[in-house]
Chain A
Amino acid sequence: MSTTVSDRFDRLRAEPLVPAGRPAGALVGSVREVIANRSLLDLLIRRDLKSRYKDSVLGFAWTLIRPLVQLAIYYLVLGRILGASRNIEDFAIYVFAGLTLYGLFSEIVAGGTASIISNAGLIKKVYLPREIYPLASVGSALFNFGVQLIVLIAATLVSGAFPWRADLLYFFPSVFVILVWATALALLLAALNVYLRDIQYLVEVLVLLLMWASPIVYSWQMVSQHASGWLLTLYTCNPITLAILGFHRAFWVAGPDSEYPPHMLLDLGVAAAAGLIALFICHRVFTRLQGNFAQEI
């Protein structure tokens, strides 16, 4: 802390003049800014998590109650009553694995889309790299994902089917694909939502649709029996489908190889690469739009 006037002036003279607000460099500048503010990012994630269940008796238990109820519904209604579990062994683990990963996706997209609007107070008054708000949603979604993952692992241990095998490594590319695509969508939709509030309602519908467009409560095999050729290819090309399949491969030991499309690792790699390109493009759109955030909110 410089206390004397001349010290301060000398220091200021040595500093270069920088443009107020966002530095011109696109991706590198943004990454550097976010890294410079990582402790703030950490605090924002904590704030999101702490304030969400503050003053509630059950607290963090609520992060589990929703997926567990979902699991119960799908397991009972789809599995037992409609008979989906006859074709899928260990149906509970199958469904919960899918719901856990899809929960990560939907929370990032929904939370990220609303993040700019819900931090309007900050955006209007303080300059911070705006990417930090969608990223904070990613952070808190990851935390909840972690909690559910522990439950999933516990469930595999209890049922005596812990996936001790090489396929467990499918976990990493699957989560990576989901993270990259969800973050890309969150950035894009967060920026668009500032200009068109319809986006956040659209996202709710989109998240619901996408859940049924990937093999979470039914299996890929069922799709491949009914659809073939280009339709099946299109269905399988969906990065969420690929990631869910990879996640099943990691945690659901009961599944035979016929449950999965061939060349899965390659497909996941392509989905990850495409996701990185999408992330780059969405971030460019975000940087273009963010200059007017403060006046449009």
Chain B
Amino acid sequence: MTIDNEIMPPAADAAFDDAPVVVSIKDVSKKFTIRKDNSLKERIVTLGRAGRRHSEDFWALRDVNLDIRAGTTIGLLGPNGSGKSTLLKAIGGILEPTSGTIERRGRLAALIELGAGMHPDLTGRENVYLNAAILGLSREDAEARFDDIMRFSAIGDFIDTQVKFYSSGMYVRLAFAVAINTDPDVLLVDEVLAVGDEQFQKKCLDKIREFQEQGRTIILVSHSLGQVQELCDSAVVMHHGEVKFQGSARLAVKNFREILEGRRVAEAEAAAPEEVATPGKVERVTLEVPGRAPGAEVQPGDELVIRATFSHTTPLDRWHSGFKIENQFGHLVYGTDSRQLRLQHAPLVGSATVEYRLPDVRFGGGPYFVHAFFAKANGEHIAIEREAARFVVADDDTQSGTTRVATVAREITD
């Protein structure tokens, strides 16, 4: 596992430089004891030595150290069961760490599960006040924000209906509306942005951006890597309860994908131990722009030449190769493969090199990353090399976006 601690780029706003620490995590470990007996009889029967055989220790967090400064948006990444949610709950004070300390300041709101305090038999209005009080808002504050909550949730006349009659979307909208109207300094978000319809999701993301501008701190657990890259200044990758990586969101995502790839290989090995899980490899990827020095900025209209060398320990009769180009937010900008290009590769014995020529590339300004992969005939990936090559396209101050178009504008006068 590589741990390269790239210092995150300084925030544009100068006020963020000497921001106070809002959450300070020192040597935090959390042990769960998994018991297999839960009634008095069983507990007595398995008392003493036998009892220990009936319980199992599991470290959900191990020596986690982390300082989070105000105004940052930090993503927590990790495969399932890596301790992200446990860490988030420990920050929220819901779980007490077994050892170590967590200190924090400021008002904290947790969107760990929306509507935790909602009672199905109460009306929407009663639930708003109850939930607001649970999140630490006084009655007067809740009354003052009631209109905002109503507007954001768009519940309308249903506010005086018992929430058990709400659709799941309405339920979540109301809960979210209350949570974000509590004026938190630190917002803990656990996988809840994926709720509601597209329009509501957009509204939530807009609200999160607004929070960022207001210097609020957001700690986000998400499996949507694109979302993490887009929203977060920095990210932490957790694996088996330990912090594996801490740094920029982009590098964290790369790191996280490596963990997932490692796990996929391990699973494949477990499923078929006699087979070597990684018989194939992307040996080498080079990127060339004819007429320009290596590493120079790419200008619109340039040609890109990508050469990738693949190897496989056993001969492959039929195989495909391809590549993807992503921008710095992890969005796919362009990608193709030999199947889509109707190219039939010759059987792979040892290694083979494929060349892709991309004439007249017109991407928007900024850095891009090339991932090269090859796959079996049925499309199953054999190996992928992430960020195998990188190039930067020159900025153009006449436009923004991931593509480049020579727009001509004129005002129409009658």
Task: Name A's B-contacting residues (CB within 8 A).
Answer: 1, 3-6, 8-9, 12-13, 15-22, 37, 39-40, 43-44, 47, 50-51, 54-55, 121-128, 196-198, 291-292, 294-295
Contact = CB atoms under 8 A, between A and B. Distances in A.
A127 B40 contact: no
A17 B71 contact: no
Given A8-B216, A9-B70, A126-B117, A47 B130 contact: yes
Given A12-B106, A51-B122, A196-B43, 4 more contacts: A8-B185, A21-B95, A43-B130, A198-B39
A257 B218 CA distance: 69
B96 A50 contact: no
Given A121-B116, A122-B117, A197 B133 contact: no
A20 B110 CA distance: 13
A203 to B, nearest CB: 13
Contact of A126 (B15, B94, B121): B94
Interface string B131-169: 001110011000000000000000000000010000000
B105 interface: yes
A51 B39 contact: no
- Number of chain B interface residues as a range: 35 or more
B121 A17 contact: no
Given A1-B183, A121-B116, A17 B105 contact: yes
A18 B105 contact: yes
B16 A12 contact: no
B374 interface: no
Given A12-B106, A126-B117, A5 B71 contact: yes
A9 B71 contact: yes
A1 B71 CA distance: 16
Interface string B53-65: 0000000000000
A295 B183 CA distance: 28
A44 B122 CA distance: 11
B226 interface: no
A18 B103 contact: yes
A190 B213 CA distance: 44
B215 A43 contact: no
B106 A15 contact: yes
B181 to A, nearest CB: 10
Interface stretch (B20-28, B240-248, B320-328, B339-347): B20-28
Contacts of B122: 47, 50-51, 54
